[in-house]
Amino acid sequence: MNRREWMALTASAAFAPVAWPRAAGAQRRAKIPRVGIIDDAPVWNSFRQALREAGYVDGQTIAFEYRVADGKPEGLAAAAAELARLPVDVIAVYGTPAGRAAKAATTTVPIVAISVGDPVRAGLVQNLAHPGGNVTGNTILGADLSPKRLQLLKEMIPALSRVAFLWNPDNESNVVMRDELRAAAPGLGLDLITAEARGPGDFAQAFQTILNERADAVLTTNDFVHQRNIGLILEFTTRNRLPGMFQTRDNVVAGGLLSYGASFAELFRHGASYVQKILQGTKPEDLPVRQPERFELIINLKTAKAFGLKIAESFLLRADEVIE
């Protein structure tokens, strides 16, 4: 090959397409963070909205993996184990049972537990300021507020003497609440009745127990199974004209008499902020478990009138919101 032929060959090669190896990112779709959610429900809307506001677009910059357990212990264990095996980058759960199931399923995948009654007693964290391990989140302070809810019921209805506590024995936080209520009831001149409901099939018997024991009012929880069946509970209290003390505003808007507790929307938005921090590299052990800063007293005056209850003006003035 002479010099002229060699130069022509070199020039053609310089302008020919080159089959460079593709970068790994171009060979497959860019990885986006995945967040596992157990038992999706309307209460998660605030969580997703907060992430959208932070710039996370579902299907583009974040993906959600949903698993259904219906609040059942065996279902929660299976759902958490499946999310851990995928694995997802964060598991977000609502309530104590789901938090315990997630912690049992993994010690490495970060877990954000939202609206937990007492995360320390439930064994989810070492302490609130320094959670340790892979679990953090926020607490609704359910057990600590239970005596206060009982007191508010008594103040609203001075003639009250027998209060039923509708609870789920499979929920560790509910067990703590029951113990707190048992300790507080005598000091308020009240007899406490307990009615158990672990699943949808247990409510009929629980309601019958409440009626048989001649309860004057019903105190409820935020247990997932109970919230999923809140329509049954509200129908029961309305039909039997039983004043109900709930923990969230949504239950009162739906027809319950009154509620006292933290804002669910705020709890779920805070949970989303912790998920964002974890996705950005913060470890769960460095995120203190957050406690609510304020509590809302919500009264449904329409329900009170339907029950024939006369609420003192001084009590109504203490409410953060009166629904008429």
pLDDT band at 117 (very low <50, low <70, confident <90, very high): confident
Q: Which residues pair with 66 in a beta bridge?
A: 37
For residues 189 and 161, the answer to whether their CB atoms sit within 8 Å is yes
Q: Which residues pair with 322 in a beta bridge?
A: 299
| pLDDT confidence of residue 30 | 62
| pLDDT confidence of residue 13 | 37
Find the helix or strand (DSSP H, E) in which 197 lies: none
| pLDDT confidence of residue 12 | 40
Q: Residue 60: count other Cβ atoms within 10 Å of its Cβ.
A: 9
| 267 has a pLDDT exceeding 50 | yes
| pLDDT confidence of residue 71 | 87
Query: How far, in Å, CA of 147 to CA of 220, rounded?
Result: 13
Q: Which one is predicted more confidently, 112 or 73?
A: 112
Find the helix or strand (DSSP H, E) in which 298 lies: strand 296-300
% of the chain surpassing 70 pLDDT: 90
For residues 98 and 111, the answer to whether their CB atoms sit within 8 Å is no
pLDDT band at 3 (very low <50, low <70, confident <90, very high): very low
Strands (E), 71-212: 90-94, 111-116, 135-139, 162-167, 191-196
Domains 30-141+264-286 and 142-261+295-323 belong to one CATH topology: yes
Domain limits, the chain? 30-141+264-286, 142-261+295-323
| pLDDT confidence of residue 2 | 43
| pLDDT confidence of residue 31 | 86
pLDDT, tens only, 272-291: 999 999 999 999 999 999 99
Q: Which one is predicted more confidently, 143 or 254?
A: 254
Assigned CATH topology for domain 142-261+295-323: Rossmann fold (3.40.50)
For residues 83 and 91, the answer to whether their CB atoms sit within 8 Å is yes
| pLDDT confidence of residue 143 | 62
Query: How far, in Å, CA of 263 to CA of 273, rounded?
Result: 16
- Number of helices (H) and strands (E) in the chain: give both, helices first: 14, 12
Q: Which CATH number fits domain 30-141+264-286: 3.40.50.2300, 3.30.1280.10, 3.40.190.10, 3.40.47.10?
A: 3.40.50.2300
pLDDT, tens only, 128-155: 999 999 999 999 886 678 999 999 999 9
| 243 has a pLDDT exceeding 50 | yes
